Amino acid sequence: ANDGYKLWLQYNQLENPSEWQKDCFEQYKINGSSSTLDIIDDEIQKASMGFFQKVANQEQNNPKLIISKISDLDLKKFKLDATKITDLGSEGFFIQELVTDSQDKTTIVAANTDIGLLYGTFHLLQKIQKNEWIPIEGIFQSPKTQHRLLNHWDNLDRTVERGYSGFSIWNWHRLPRHIDQQYIDYARANASIGINGTVLTNVNANSLVLTPEYLEKVKALADTFRPYGIKVYLTARFSSPIEIGGIKTADPLDKEVQNWWNKKAKEVYEYIPDFGGFVVKADSEGQPGPHNYGRTQADGANMLADAVAPFGGIVMWRAFVYSEKTPDDRHKQAFNEFKPLDGTFRENVIVQVKNGAIDFQPREPFHPLFGAMPKTPLMMEFQITQEYLGHDTHLAFLAPMYEEVLKEDTYVNGEGSEVAKTVDGSLHSHKLTAMAGVANIGTDRNWTGHHFHQANWFAYGKLAWDPYETSENIAEDWLKLTFTNNPDFVDPVKEIMLDSREMVVNYMTPLGLHHIMAESHHYGPGPWVTGGSRADWTATYYHQADENGIGFDRTSTGSNALGQYAEEIQTKWGDVNSIPEEHLLWFHHVSWDHQLQNGDNLWNNLAKYYQKGVEEARKNVKIWESLKGKIDDDRHQHVLSFMTIQAEEAEWWRDACLLYFGQFSKMPIPEGVEKPK
């Protein structure tokens, strides 16, 4: 069995199905015809086979389930109030049980477009799998962000930067002639959670992907994904005009360079008429960019934006720009670079900002750019792949981390200016909205290495669709769709999931510590990492531990990165006694005997957090062992094995960090904490 490959689309047999559940499959009707509607039909068949081991049956005259565009529906017959359905937009849907004059009950899935119907159908099938009803008033949904994208850091040689689940699923060698089933399964999985775009290539980009040889391959993928509502995007290497264009410069203000990009964009759109646009990482970590020519990020972004604008494309320009040559705290660099450019970007540019100012740590305060550029659309970039959270083997359900950042109040327009409101565009009335998630997908049989990391892909999709969704709902849905509705399994495992990210913070980086992972691969502890090629890639730079204390002073007595946030936040976080303790060492350097809210000193608290993380990881193993038999043995065993690794490595983290920091604190390991081995 390889149930892992089926993700959250298991379609497990329904126990005691209701009449309504059966009717939906025994008498269904799909209005119209298109490749997307064929996919819907196929999905209903797949679900029917899984739910009832039976082929589903179309019924033209007396259907019990109708899937139809609103324009093809007899609104009067179903007494449908047209005003309720006008703002569904191009991707929304509604589902309702309606009564006709003859008192027949019919379940309707309706939308303005075929893609809306696909989303609605998946929603209905998920409801059925979870054994839930359609509420009387119906379900009306449309996505709160426009572009919901996966970013693949996949290289053309099929290695994946920060990928831990095998190789890239894009088999460039076999493309375009061979379309692998996995591409189709990938598109289907994404459509089932509302993802509508994919950036195929690494942001550390290779310009070869923009040559005709590769564009043909990209086109084949785009054609495969299109009926699933998924657009293809590429990363654009800034120096492409030099590397594949034979031009001497890539200066964005140079006419020849501009023409080259204009022509290149036109060529791309000849292959892929609905090409989404470009993502660019420039002037960061060795990537070329406008700085090479003394130009601004806006000069670079606007040149590309002009090239794709005639075809409706967008440019996602990353704000992850920092340099070791800038002496300033890395936390401050993106803000300092981008904030002054507010209002100078073209309309089809959106600035892509990581959730935090450093780099996808287990916990980061929200990025100060959110809310700080009212005239520019900003999008959120989350990392789904677990570069800093234990790679493939450590269970960390990331929805609580995403949710935490989305709910943070930026205060830029006073209280209630949550990060989520910059993401959905409502804070500063932007139409262009987006979210990106760095994918954790690879050729592993279960896609993501750890079975539970499928949940992070799922959670990302759900939050991109609705940034106000809760982790708890997401965890519960995912468990039911992926494993079983059995509460004896779902309830305890949901708790494990919801606490898992905090557990990782506890045994890796409690109290606001950050970037103390081992050098370059970032797996395991490495708080001792010093020197190297650059200060901002070394752990000691971030924790600043010495005999006097620990933590990075980012208040006005230090780097004053805190000054990039709103007054309310500066006041609260600027004071060691009022900053949430989870951010303490991110913003303050405090002494080892500094007293925390619980009355105990910093060192003891630190030690106890590490111990707590270890105990949580061990407890998870026990709970999981007790659930044997509640799900298939394959997945049970796989997860158990990974959880055991995690528990061992939580000890590794605790021991390494306490031994290392203990050299400075010179304080004993407190009671209740195991002595490092």
The catalytic residues are: 285, 359, 387
- Please report how close the Cβ of residue 167 comes to ligand GCW at its closest, in angstroms: 17
Query: Would you say 13 and 53 are in contact if contact means Cβ atoms under 8 Å apart?
Result: yes
| Residue 418, strand partner residues | 409
- Please report how close the Cβ of residue 330 comes to ligand GCW at its closest, in angstroms: 12
Considering only residues 360, 457, 573, 653, which one is a binding residue for ligand GCW as defined by CB under 6 A? 360
- Please report how close the Cβ of residue 155 comes to ligand GCW at its closest, in angstroms: 10
- Please report how close the Cβ of residue 158 comes to ligand GCW at its closest, in angstroms: 16
Query: Would you say 163 and 154 are in contact if contact means Cβ atoms under 8 Å apart?
Result: yes
**In the complex with ligand GCW, which residue's Cβ is closer, 204 or 486?**
204
**In the complex with ligand GCW, which residue's Cβ is closer, 9 or 517?**
517
Considering only residues 94, 153, 183, 366, which one is a binding residue for ligand GCW as defined by CB under 6 A? 153
- Residue 203 makes contact with ligand GCW by CB under 6 A: yes
- Please report how close the Cβ of residue 386 comes to ligand GCW at its closest, in angstroms: 11
| Interactions with ligand GCW, residue window 74-93 (CB under 6 A) | none
Structure tokens given for 540: 């000691």
Considering only residues 147, 152, 231, 281, which one is a binding residue for ligand GCW as defined by CB under 6 A? 281
**In the complex with ligand GCW, which residue's Cβ is closer, 28 or 153?**
153
Q: Which residues contact 517 (CB under 8 A, 6 or more apart)?
A: 388, 508, 523, 524, 525, 526, 539
Residues in contact with ligand GCW, counted by CB under 6 A, come to a total of 10
- Please report how close the Cβ of residue 522 comes to ligand GCW at its closest, in angstroms: 7
Task: For 451-478, give one letter per residue: b (16+ CB within 10 A) or e.
Answer: bbbbbbbbbbbbbbbbbebebeebbbbb
Site string for ligand GCW, 509-538 (x = CB under 6 A): ------------------------------
**In the complex with ligand GCW, which residue's Cβ is closer, 113 or 383?**
383
| Interactions with ligand GCW, residue window 487-506 (CB under 6 A) | none
CA-based nearest residue to 274, from 235, 315, 223: 223
Considering only residues 204, 211, 262, 344, which one is a binding residue for ligand GCW as defined by CB under 6 A? 204
**In the complex with ligand GCW, which residue's Cβ is closer, 286 or 629?**
286
Could you give the CA distance from residue 342 to residue 439 in angstroms, rounded to a whole number? 29
The identity of residue 671, as a single letter, is: E
- Residue 236 makes contact with ligand GCW by CB under 6 A: no
- Please report how close the Cβ of residue 318 comes to ligand GCW at its closest, in angstroms: 7
Query: Would you say 437 and 279 are in contact if contact means Cβ atoms under 8 Å apart?
Result: no
156 three-class SS: coil
| Interactions with ligand GCW, residue window 101-120 (CB under 6 A) | none
**In this chain, which residue has its C-beta nearest to ligand GCW?**
359
| Interactions with ligand GCW, residue window 304-343 (CB under 6 A) | 320
| Residue 438, strand partner residues | 151, 383
Could you give the CA distance from residue 160 to residue 152 in angstroms, rounded to a whole number? 8
- Please report how close the Cβ of residue 390 comes to ligand GCW at its closest, in angstroms: 15
Q: Indicate the burial class of 42 (C-beta count within 10 angstroms; 0-12, 13-18, 19 or more).
A: exposed
- Please report how close the Cβ of residue 225 comes to ligand GCW at its closest, in angstroms: 23
**In the complex with ligand GCW, which residue's Cβ is closer, 91 or 387?**
387
**In the complex with ligand GCW, which residue's Cβ is closer, 118 or 160?**
160
- Residue 359 makes contact with ligand GCW by CB under 6 A: yes
**In the complex with ligand GCW, which residue's Cβ is closer, 119 or 233?**
233
616 three-class SS: helix
Q: Is 450 left (phi over 0), alpha (psi -120 to 50) or beta?
A: beta
CA 140, 470, 83: angle at the middle one, nearest 5? Answer: 15
- Residue 391 makes contact with ligand GCW by CB under 6 A: no
Do strands 139-141 and 197-199 pair parallel, antiparallel, or not at all (unpaired)? Answer: unpaired
Q: Which residues contact 318 (CB under 8 A, 6 or more apart)?
A: 203, 279, 280, 281, 282, 284, 351, 352, 353, 381
Could you give the CA distance from residue 11 to residue 46 in angstroms, rounded to a whole number? 8
Cis peptide before 176 (omega within 30 of 0): yes
- List C-alpha distances in Å: 655 to 87, 217, 643, 648, 649: 56, 49, 18, 11, 10
Q: What are phi and psi of 381, to 5 degrees?
A: -115, 115
CA-based nearest residue to 62, from 27, 14, 93, 103: 27
- Residue 162 makes contact with ligand GCW by CB under 6 A: yes
Could you give the CA distance from residue 589 to residue 585 in angstroms, rounded to a whole number? 6
Helices (H), 550-598: 567-573, 584-587
**In the complex with ligand GCW, which residue's Cβ is closer, 144 or 318?**
318
Considering only residues 41, 59, 97, 161, which one is a binding residue for ligand GCW as defined by CB under 6 A? 161
- Please report how close the Cβ of residue 657 comes to ligand GCW at its closest, in angstroms: 21
**In the complex with ligand GCW, which residue's Cβ is closer, 64 or 152?**
152
184 three-class SS: helix
- Please report how close the Cβ of residue 387 comes to ligand GCW at its closest, in angstroms: 6
**In the complex with ligand GCW, which residue's Cβ is closer, 113 or 201?**
201
Considering only residues 251, 387, 403, 649, which one is a binding residue for ligand GCW as defined by CB under 6 A? 387
Query: Would you say 358 and 515 are in contact if contact means Cβ atoms under 8 Å apart?
Result: yes
Site string for ligand GCW, 428-467 (x = CB under 6 A): ----------------------------------------
Query: Would you say 553 and 587 are in contact if contact means Cβ atoms under 8 Å apart?
Result: yes
**In the complex with ligand GCW, which residue's Cβ is closer, 203 or 222?**
203
Q: Most distant CA pair in the chain: distance in Å? A: 82
- Identify each DSSP E strand in 420-555 by its residue range: 434-438
- Please report how close the Cβ of residue 381 comes to ligand GCW at its closest, in angstroms: 8
DSSP codes of every residue in 33-72: --HHHHHHHHHHHHHHHHHHSS---B-SSS-SEEEEEGGG
Contact residues toward ligand GCW (CB under 6 A) are 153, 161-162, 203-204, 281, 320, 359-360, 387
